[in-house]
Amino acid sequence: MLDLKAASIAANRFGLGAKPGELDAIAKDPRAWLSRQLVAETVAGTASWPAQLTGFLKAQHERKADIDAFKEFRKAMQQDFRAAAAKRTLDAANSPTPFRERLVQFWSNHFTVSVQRPVVVPTAVGFENEAIRPNIFGNFRDMLKTVAAHPAMLLYLDNIKSIGPNSGAGLKNKHGLNENLAREMMELHTVGVDGGYTQTDVTELAKILTGWSIANAQEPNSGQFRYRPFVHEPGDKTVMGKTYREAGQNEAITAMNDLAARPATARHIATKLARHFVADDPPKAAVDALARTYMETDGDLRAVTMTLIGLPQIWAEPQTKIKTPNELVISACRSFGITDVQAGEMLLMGLRQMEQAPFTAPSPAGWPDTADSWISPEAMMTRVEWAMAVGQKLEGQADARDIAKATIQPVASQNTLFHIDHAPSAAEALALLIASPEFQRR
Amino acid sequence: MALDMPFENIILPRRAFLTGVGAAALAAGLPRVVLADAPTDKRFVVIILRGAMDGLNVVPPYGDKDYAALRAQIAIAKPGETDGAFDLNGFFGLHPALAEIAPWYKEGALLPIHAVASPYRDRSHFDGQDVLENGTLSARDTESGWLNRALTAMGGSDRRIGLAVGQSIPLVLRGPTPVASWAPTHMPEANDSFLTLVQAVYQGDQRLSAALADGIRATAAADHAIGTDNTPIASAGMVDDGKPAPYRGQEALAEAAGKMLADPNGPRIAAFDAQGWDTHAAQGGAKGRLAQALGGLQASLVALRRSLGPAWKDTVVLMATEFGRTAHVNGTNGTDHGTGTVTLLAGGAVAGGKVAGQWPGLADGQLYQSRDLMPTTDLRAVMKTVLAEHMGVPRDRLDGFVFPNSSDARTLKGIVAA
């Protein structure tokens, strides 16, 4: 029997919204449709991103001699970034594996890097494709380590500037530690703010991370990870009760493995997953189940994701979550079959207008994941204005009734369908569909 | 347009000139804004400085014998020296990037309070901001903010008394008392007939219908106050000229907030954010990231004062941050998360022209955990004083309801104009 409600949950809560025709296909076996997507992939063509950073570092290094060249480079780089960010949205909208894309974006948000720090511009998109995408079904500790070694994160959270006070460089230049990466690694990436660490633990982890850096403009492999023994703080360090013997670059690897293995990390990640996939206020049973799998499998994210698919709480009730602006725009592009930037310009502009342009999160904590943060009266008005603008843009290209049937029908109220049916114009019918509670929720 | 005209006569769509919707089209069944008597004519603006502002360089204690050595290359030079601070009282100075508002101090419209901290003693931005905004002793203690509870205590149940400026409502203003929110729009305004349809579709969705109804009311109120000449304002997150993104648009938000607050029928309390304070690296002295962030804040304050017009004399602006930064410069020309910091009050209703608070000193034994400026004034005491003496919030509601368990944080003398 076709289960269209379950298909709607699979397509919207797990996926990124239904494409026309997709609901019927998913309805044959929603859970199988999801589990089929649990295969990691790499993305071809990301090789240009390290080159971007190399070029940027070179232009920055030489900017005293040639400021115009630097400005030119920066401008081109920002254009490239915007094009890549737009492509990222459209790729998600057209993906045949939208659950996988949602997970990529979930983990990318968990390990936020943001172009609010302009130095992140050349690496932000590459970061997601290189550090996140290949690891979402692997082991959490591997994602953690790949992230921490990625130039985007090392630049974003200042680790390239952190210098052990008793290292060669520290003794010579009186430079010192920068705690930024160490603190966020504990507070945001692993054990969470209640994970039982102290200021001393932050400082000690910062010492462990000294030396994790990138090659500069004059060094070989410029822009890529480089361990710098000369800035590494020598001696033993103790983090959360465990002492790490001096081991150079490997100290951080051991420390991250240990952080990943902590029950507090399991709990922190389980809570974030449950908040994203079940409800803003996640039920304890769902969090418990996810955390249990995490601990039993030593952080195997494929196993954790399988548990997620099986959570009865997710399938119990549709439409518990309000879409973020990012989810709203992607799902609209998906429903209307928008495949290229030019055709989608109006829709993509919504990301900026609703203040969730890709890779612009306001802080390392990433984008919030609760309706409270996204449904202020002002934000609601902006959503409605955007819906109206999109309706006007797409008038004549799509029939609201057809799209409604292919997207929100299984969960739509009679009231919503009635108003779409009886809208005074085709543009308003499309706009009402987008503005409808059933389309605004997932 | 006469400012004292009741709202119901002059609901205007935002940027009517763009959509071509005239007043005649407004007859549709929108909820009309009904005036309620505002509980006070005083104005209160809260600017949340997210990221932990470094009080030791914003109001540098250049007269402290330990200051220059702790701050080394990022120390603010003494008054009179190159790039030196503006002298405040022979001991404290004001960061040189604040040239435009330095005269406010002499005028009595600027009051730094030094060595202030909220009750929060750890060093997470997010928990620190939570405590700053929720007004309790610990993070995630409550879903409402102290400013929202203050509205309740004032009897300000009309949703237009409190205003969040920006796309989202900060925790400090969230809570059971409804508030308006406003941000500039880049899109053509949704016309009234379409809004009526959307309201009909939202009938069964409590959450969305409440937000939409509030949004429509706030839009009408904002249009009334600032007119329909809504010049597009750069949105956050744009990256076209290499300038740090957080300051763009901040000034315009302040300008709009001032206009709305100036309206006799407009809000009395507004809150918005200012960002860019997390200066782990390249904080600098007279120039650098901190100077840039201060430049953005200063531009906002100047715009706010200008647009408030005569209402400035009835205004207190509170600028508060989640915690301060380390007393020592770190290894990257910056400072890390600390504890005590400076809190700034500005406005015509401030008893400024002095530096309030108790200075704990910066010697080794005087620092908090041998690391940070020791807090000597509870930030809640500052907030309570402004609420009690300026906004007229009943004192018996402050200790238990607005700021639970805050009887230790006694109100301060002489920070608000009598």
pLDDT in tens, A246-270: 999 999 999 999 999 999 999 999 9
Distance CA A216, CA A58 (A): 8
> Does A414 reach chain B within 8 Å, measured CB to CB?
no
Q: How far apart are CA B62 and CA A441, in angstroms?
A: 55
Nearest chain B Cα distance for residue A199, angstroms: 8
| Short-list A321, A325, A224, CA closest to A12 | A321
Does residue A357 sit at the B interface (CB-CB below 8 Å)? Answer: yes
The residue of chain A with its CA nearest to that of B210 is A377
Assigned token pair, A357: 């342009």
Interacting residues of A161 by C-beta distance below 8 A, sequence separation 6+: A178, B281, B331, B332
Give the residue on B whose Cα is nearest the Cα of A116: B245
Instruction: Render pLDDT for A352-382 as a digit per residue (tens, 0 to 9).
Output: 889 899 999 988 999 999 998 999 888 999 9
| Burial state string for B344-371 with b = 16 or more CB within 10 A and e = fewer than 16 | bbbbbbbbbebbbbebbbbeeeebbeeb
User: Which two three-digit tokens encode residue B388?
Assistant: 């009690």
Within an 8 Å CB–CB cutoff, is residue A193 touching chain B? yes
d(CA B226, CA B219): 10
CA distances from A371 to A68, A151, A275, A325, A367 (A): 45, 33, 11, 11, 12
Residues B350, B417 contacting (CB under 8 angstroms) = yes
Instruction: State the smallest CA–CA distance between residue A324 and chain B in angstroms.
Output: 13
Q: How many Å apart are CA B108 and CA B101, to the nearest integer?
A: 11
What is the phi-psi region of residue A43: left when phi exceeds 0, alpha when psi lies from -120 to 50, beta otherwise? Answer: beta
CA atoms of B187 and B198, how far apart (whole Å): 17
Q: Closest by alpha carbon to A365, among B51, B326, B246?
A: B51
B13, with CB counted inside 10 A (0-12, 13-18, 19+), is buried
Distance from CA of A187 to the nearest CA of B (A): 8
Distance CA A414, CA B279 (A): 54
Contact residues, chain A, for B195 at CB < 8 Å = 384
Could you tell me if A360 lies within 8 Å of chain B, comparing CB atoms?
yes
pLDDT in tens, A67-119: 888 888 888 888 899 999 999 999 999 999 999 999 999 999 999 999 988 88
Phi, psi of B165 (to 5 degrees): -100, 120
Q: In the predicted model, what is the mean pLDDT of residues A131-149? A: 96
Phi and psi at residue B282, in whole multiples of 5°? 55, 30
Specify the pLDDT at position B188. Answer: 74
**pLDDT for res B24:** 28
Reading chain B (418 residues) residue by residue, the pLDDT tens digits are 232 322 222 222 333 222 222 222 232 222 223 333 567 889 999 999 999 999 999 999 999 999 999 999 999 999 999 999 999 999 999 999 999 999 999 999 999 999 999 999 999 888 899 999 999 999 888 889 999 999 999 987 666 788 888 767 889 998 888 888 777 666 777 788 899 999 999 999 999 999 999 888 877 777 666 654 433 333 333 333 333 334 546 788 898 899 889 988 788 999 998 888 989 888 999 999 899 999 999 999 999 999 999 999 999 999 999 999 999 999 889 999 999 999 999 999 999 999 999 999 999 999 999 999 999 999 999 999 999 999 999 999 999 899 999 999 999 999 999 7
Question: Do the beta carbons of residue B101 and residue B298 sit within 8 Å?
Answer: yes
How far is the alpha carbon of B195 from chain A, nearest alpha carbon, in Å?
8
Chain A residues in contact with B237 (beta carbon < 8 A): 115-116, 352, 355, 357, 360
Cβ pair A378:B216 closer than 8 A: no
Q: Report the residue of chain B nearest A363, measured CA to CA.
A: B51
Residue of B nearest to A196 (CA): B122
Which residues of chain B lie closer than 8 angstroms to A424, CB-CB?
193
Interchain CB distance below 8 Å, A163 and B331:
yes
ipTM of the complex model: 0.90
Nearest CA in chain B to A361: B237
